[in-house]
Structure 1
Amino acid sequence: MSTISMRKTTVVAAGLAVAASLVLTGCKDGNEEITPAAPSSQPSQPAGQPSGYASSPAGSPSAGGSAGSSGAPAAGGSGAVAKSGQAFKIGEAATVPFTSGGKTGQLALTVTSIDAGNPADLAPLNVADKVKGQTPFYIHYTVKNTGTSDLSFASVGHIKGLLDGGAESGVLLTIGKFEKCPNESLPQGFTNGKTQTSCAIALAPTGAKVTGAEYWGDPYNNLSSPAQKGLTWK
């Protein structure tokens, strides 16, 4: 997927082997300041236009689409494409255009469940100091190729959690295999009709819950238009 603009979402990247872990709160050069996610009853606000995450907060679905999410069939596939800001129930599929490494296609993306984990789950990641006071939640989702392109080895991420009040959760990215929440690239031969399950790790402050999820991949971000909003599931 293409590079996108960034919100003030806490991101923890954890290596399962020798890779160093790191927390990102913006797009500064050098060492990054560690700022754990805090509970909030209000949706987070845009952080100007630094690069990283989409700058438009998740909220109520938009009645209309904008460039890239007008509901017209996506290139390399058929079916109505989800509109900017559209909301779905957990278990419902959203048809989304997909771009990766010069390939274009179409996917049916479904958030199937959001399960609470235990802070002890994260012990193998060696990020205890960076996730102190945070509880992991596992966002399970399925990806189905509904287009005509072979999307072998592409990565389908850009899934984050939403707290009770609509604010964004923290995000934990892992390098390597994490059994509690596997997230691997699409396999070889991922052609029309093929399906893969995946998982994203969201972090919530102690006492808060992740009750929703947002997909913010291109074109559901402000590179296409400042009005673009992610797709949400609750």
Structure 2
Amino acid sequence: VPQAATAVKVGQPATVDFADKTSNVSTKLQITVTGIEVGSLQDLTAAKVPTTGLDGRTPVYVSYTVKNLGDASLSFTAPDSKFVLFDAAGNKGLPVLTASNPLPKCTGAKFQGVAKGAETKGCDIISIAGTSPVAVGYTDLNDLLKLQASWSK
């Protein structure tokens, strides 16, 4: 797992910079990864989430809370797009798109209207090649290979 500027345990907050060039929003966020739970392909098929390309991969549910510390509202942004998941071998996971079929166990956050001081909770599904997720990272604004923060169990 790459070294992060801030490394904390799951359940502890980390402050990161967030910028969305499309909506011209730049702010500071306090992110707390609250859970890293191994799921199953059966969870996804039961919720009618497509599993194409997931053979031999393990879905992992990454739960989090995002609090907006800055003045800019998060209306059309997706701060969760900066999450990366690493398995025991240091391999990065791949996001599983669930927008059309939310999974009851893991529902994405709604960022619309998250103004200064407000927070939202959500969950992203990321698949890994192994079965042991070890850390969640939050990438740097300019260099996706660098981490601003990481959370480990």
TM-score, normalised with respect to structure 2: 0.82
Displacement of 1:143 after TM fit?
0.3
The residue aligned with 2:74 is 151
1:174-214 Cα offsets, whole Å, 9 max, x none, are 232413321144132x21211101212121336x2112111
| Selected match of 2:85 from 161, 167, 180 | 161
Displacement of 1:146 after TM fit?
0.9
| Selected match of 2:58 from 108, 115, 135 | 135
Q: Is the 2:69–2:117 contact (alpha carbons within 8 Å) kept by the matching residues of 1?
A: yes
Q: Is the 1:202–1:210 contact (alpha carbons within 8 Å) kept by the matching residues of 2?
A: no
Change (3 A) 1:135 1:153: same
How many residues are paired up?
145
Whole-Å separation in 2 of the counterparts to 1:196 and 1:217:
21
More strand by share: 2
Please provide the CA RMSD for this pair: 2.0
TM-score, normalised with respect to structure 1: 0.56
Whole-Å separation in 1 of the counterparts to 2:66 and 2:135:
18
The residue aligned with 1:229 is 146
1:48-82 Cα offsets, whole Å, 9 max, x none, are xxxxxxxxxx4234xxxxxxxxxxxxxxxxxxxxx
1:34-61 Cα offsets, whole Å, 9 max, x none, are xxxxxxxxxxxxxxxxxxxxxxxx4234
Whole-Å separation in 1 of the counterparts to 2:50 and 2:27:
37
Indicate the SS of the match to 2:43: helix
Unaligned runs of 5+ in 1: 1-57, 62-82, 223-227
The residue aligned with 1:186 is 111
Displacement of 1:169 after TM fit?
2.3
Name the % identity: 27
Rg larger in structure: 1
Please tell me whether residue 119 in structure 1 is matched to residue 37 in structure 2: no
Q: Which has the higher contact order (CA 8 A, sep 6+)?
A: 2
Displacement of 1:217 after TM fit?
4.7
